[in-house]
Amino acid sequence: MKVRHYNIPIFIPELACPHQCVFCNQEKISGTDEAPKPEEISGIIDTWLSTIDTEISHVELAFFGGSFTGIPVNLQEEYLKEVLPYIESGEIKGIRLSTRPDYINQDILDLLKKYGVTSIELGAQSLDKFVLKMAGRGHSTEDVKIAAKLINENGFELGLQMMLGLPFDTKEKSIYTAKKIIELGAKTTRIYPTLVIDGTALGKQYKEGTYKAICLEDAIDWTKDIIMLFEDAKVTVLRTGLHPSEEFEDDKSLLAGPYHPSFKEMVMTEVWKDKLSNLMTDENDLRIFVNPSQVNFAVGYKAKNKTELLKTHNSVKVFGDDNLDKFDFYVGDNR
């Protein structure tokens, strides 16, 4: 039986964060004003667990949205204590959290280990020194390297998140960042194209004309190449782009940037466009077999890839084959 994975997300937005990264307005990004109080955590967990069959599921809890290890240690412990009974009962298998590279040290890792934290994601954003400096992160690329090493040495799963299109970023620099993330031993990553949100320093730069946002086509092109690098290195890409959010659909807070509710689908369409561009077959009626998770991407966003193939083939059908790895495919015959 296939095990289903669930993350119970708990957003802790900009709680006690003294930094102001140029792109960040936590309130707008998470769509949440306040962090839940520690005593509210068990209620949130129970609500989620009531909808999940934990016998056949792998459930984790995720503290996201801010820098968890930047909040006071006693408060971290209060949050973690609330989750501990569920870890001990086996209903929750582990805790993931996100934080800043400069909020990691041995004492912090000892505390996290004690309460069942299994995965730590760091907002690396860029490993190009100048891009990172201009992003106003307030930490260095060296901080990322030191924290990554410590996290790996202590047996946690390391995640390193990156952004594309920060001030002074280029495709080459973002590919360099991806390669460094691989070198640093990350097991997971998230790729966030930079969005310009009102009320941020970047929003101000954009309005003043000193920052130009990366366009959607470039964001798709950069992300496509970066995804394939991660794929080859077996680094799992947990997310590309932000969650489609009503905040951005209706609100005027998004000033510019490559936001699209189907961003991931558009990126994967281009990945498959590359793969299918040199098909060596003279079949008129094309039957392409891919992993079931890839059928929609192979067909393409708004059937873009299928339409392209129909220029040279009478018919095109894409089928799922469970035996195939994620990016493998074959062309079957028409019998």
Q: How far is the CB of 197 from ligand SF4 (least distance, A)?
A: 11
Contact characters 79-108, ligand SF4, x per CB under 6 A: ---------------------x--------
How many residues belong to the site for ligand SF4 (CB under 6 A)?
10
Residue 17 lies near ligand SF4 (rule: CB under 6 A)? yes
Radius of gyration of the chain (CA): 21
Nearest to ligand SF4 of 26, 194 (CB atom): 26
Residue 24 lies near ligand SF4 (rule: CB under 6 A)? yes
Nearest to ligand SF4 of 135, 318 (CB atom): 135
Residue 20 lies near ligand SF4 (rule: CB under 6 A)? yes
Helix-helix angle 41-49:73-89, to 10 degrees:
30
3-class state of residue 171 by DSSP: helix
Q: How far is the CB of 168 from ligand SF4 (least distance, A)?
A: 18
Nearest to ligand SF4 of 21, 131 (CB atom): 21
Strand partners, 123: 161
Q: Which whole-number Å values give the CA distances from 237 to 162, 191, 203, 261, in the listed order? A: 11, 8, 28, 18
Q: Backbone phi, then psi, for 313, in 5-degree steps? A: -135, 150
Which residue from 28, 61, 66, 214 is in contact with ligand SF4, where contact means CB under 6 A? 66
Q: How far is the CB of 133 from ligand SF4 (least distance, A)?
A: 14
Nearest to ligand SF4 of 12, 95 (CB atom): 12
Nearest to ligand SF4 of 67, 269 (CB atom): 67
Binding segment for ligand SF4 (CB under 6 A), chosen from 15-23, 213-221, 307-315, 317-325, is: 15-23
Residue 67 lies near ligand SF4 (rule: CB under 6 A)? yes
- Residue ranges of alpha helices (H) inside the chain are 26-30, 41-49, 73-89, 106-114, 129-134, 141-153, 171-183, 201-208, 216-232, 246-250, 263-276, 295-299, 304-309
Q: How far is the CB of 22 from ligand SF4 (least distance, A)?
A: 9
Question: Rounded CA gap, 290 and 182, in Å?
Answer: 26
Check if the beta carbon of residue 314 is closer than 8 Å to that of residue 284. Answer: yes
Nearest to ligand SF4 of 124, 286 (CB atom): 124
Binding segment for ligand SF4 (CB under 6 A), chosen from 18-26, 36-44, 211-219, 312-320, is: 18-26
Angle (CA) 208-23-26 rounded to 5° is 130
Residue 21 lies near ligand SF4 (rule: CB under 6 A)? yes
Q: Residue 260: enclosing H or E segment and its boundaries? A: none
Check if the beta carbon of residue 287 is closer than 8 Å to that of residue 334. Answer: yes
Nearest to ligand SF4 of 197, 316 (CB atom): 197
Which residue from 8, 12, 14, 227 is in contact with ligand SF4, where contact means CB under 6 A? 14
Q: Backbone phi, then psi, for 317, in 5-degree steps? A: -130, 140
Q: How far is the CB of 146 from ligand SF4 (least distance, A)?
A: 17
Q: What does the CA dihedral 147, 151, 152, 157 come to, rounded to 10 degrees?
A: -130
Nearest to ligand SF4 of 20, 296 (CB atom): 20
Question: Rounded CA gap, 114 and 76, in Å?
Answer: 12
Residues at the site binding ligand SF4, with contacts judged by CB under 6 A: 14, 17, 19-21, 24, 26, 66-67, 100
